[in-house]
Amino acid sequence: LCLLLSLAMESLQTLLPERVSSLLDLLLNGLGGLGGALLAGLTVNPPGPLRKLAALRREWFLPGRAMALGLVALGLWALAQLTPLLLSLDTNPLRKGLLPLWTPGFPTLFNWPQLAAYACTVAGLGLFGAILARAEKDTVRPFIGFAGAVLLVKILVMGRYLALETAIGAAMGMVLAVVLRPAPRPFRLAAAGLSL
């Protein structure tokens, strides 16, 4: 079905003057569909490590496809932070990336909108994760670890500095998510939506 959909898209592209259809696109789309189908097969009867991950998911998060989609959204946020996905195992980028946190006067201009955006995003994700989790599970420490790990790995992957605005915004977002965690579920849902 993926191959047929790709064939239809590539065929339609021949009618558009600014688009170019490609046999390589058709092949890669078909292979992507095949890879997705094979991965979906792993979810039915997962092997050892995936079985443990599935057990953790059942233990910590509410059942249902909507909850699974929410977890995918959290994973996609982490993946979006780590693009272009070229992980370096050298520790120099990590040290250089944390430089703004302890070097006075660096960076010279403070970006308040970036701070606000990161605070809202992290708070929204924290509240969203708490909504997905079972009521008896305390998601505060796992979420702080998750968000912190994403930011640190972002330095290694992106080869950039961890901006002071990003670090402070993320910390503010984590605090806000922790403070709003005990609020009633409808309020948390609205706050998560508004924050995101």
User: Nearest CA to 26 among 10, 15, 48, 43?
Assistant: 10
- Return the DSSP state at 17: T
User: Nearest CA to 101 among 152, 175, 138?
Assistant: 152
Low-confidence ranges of the chain (pLDDT < 50): 86-91, 106-107
pLDDT for 176:
93
pLDDT for 179:
92
The angle that helices 112-132 and 140-158 make with each other, rounded to 10 degrees, is 130
27: its two tokens: 């092949």
Is 60:130 a contact under the CB 8 Å cutoff? no
pLDDT for 7:
92
pLDDT for 88:
44
Residue 15 Cα distances to 5, 9, 11, 18, 21, angstroms: 16, 10, 8, 9, 9
Angle at 95 between CA 94 and CA 97, to 5 degrees: 60
pTM over 0.85: no
pLDDT for 4:
92
User: Nearest CA to 103 among 173, 174, 161, 158?
Assistant: 161
pLDDT for 123:
93
Is 36:63 a contact under the CB 8 Å cutoff? no
CA 36 and chain centroid, separation: 19
pLDDT for 42:
77
pLDDT for 89:
45
43-56: buried (b, 16+ CB within 10 Å) or exposed (e) per residue? eeeeeeeeeeeeee
Helices within the chain (DSSP H only): 2-13, 23-44, 48-60, 65-81, 92-97, 112-132, 140-158, 164-180, 185-195
Q: Is the peptide bond before 84 cis (omega within 30 degrees of 0)?
A: yes
